Structure 1
Amino acid sequence: MAGIAFTAFSLLIARRSFTRRRLAANPSFYTNSPAHTQVQSAKVSAPLEAIEALNIATINVLSLAMLSTGGALWYFDIASMEDARRKLRRGLGVDGSGRSEGEAEEDFEEWLATVLSRKEAKERRQEYEEEKEQRRANERGRQR
């Protein structure tokens, strides 16, 4: 609900800013064209415009992030940190499968060790191929 309220508030701020800019660009009814451009150029400050645009964009992005986070928590039915922990542990297989948290950590460590060993073997194989190619190039150079 806070995400929805904050998004509505940020949209209201952006709309007010755009409306104020549009109305400031319209000349008064009895104003001639040169006088209007002189008055308008005196009102505009580029650094302040840039800061205001950055602030509005930041507020909009943060409000949409808050809204999407709240929507994701609602979709996954997470109302507290305890719910999040319970769902995460269920996904890891710690709760309900008879395994303890220590056993789940050991399984993860074993998986990580196999992944790292495969990576090291691949790197060694690649280094060996590079050395083999280098020797082959050196032998070709000696024959010439």
Structure 2
Amino acid sequence: MSEREISLADPEATDALGRLLAGSQPPGAVVFLDGPLGAGKSSLARAWLRALGVTGPVKSPTYTLVERYPLPAGGEAAHLDLYRLADAGELDFLGLDELADAGLWLVEWPDRGAVGLPPPDLRIRLAMDGSGRVARLQACSARGEAWLGRLPG
């Protein structure tokens, strides 16, 4: 599967990436967000959700583990932060089966969810790079491959 690397010089570049991905995502997209603490996973998710029309507070689900957002165009988006998950078996208590029809899954710390999550279409690895960040986008499905192919540059 293909990959793309995007330099994010500042927070505005992270927001722009969120808008770009929101504007090109396929329906029902599953996105895994990887990276160390402070790499910008929640910032990217927040910009993405805003670009989809979510208004009001967009909170990091660090303590709630799952935040659901109704989308103005219909359906909903799910933002998961599995950092505090002690065992993948805890996913059974999060009601993820109710999210089967979500228009978007944004999953931070996906490796802590192991096999309890749907397979990703796109994996985004964020890392610090000097005073900015770098995002490595990796297609993980045919849908993700087509998605990456639609992105400019």
Q: Which has the higher contact order (CA 8 A, sep 6+)?
A: 2
**TM range, smaller chain:** under 0.3
* Structure with greater strand percent: 2
Larger Rg over CA atoms: 1
Normalised to the residue count of structure 2, the TM-score between the two structures is: 0.21
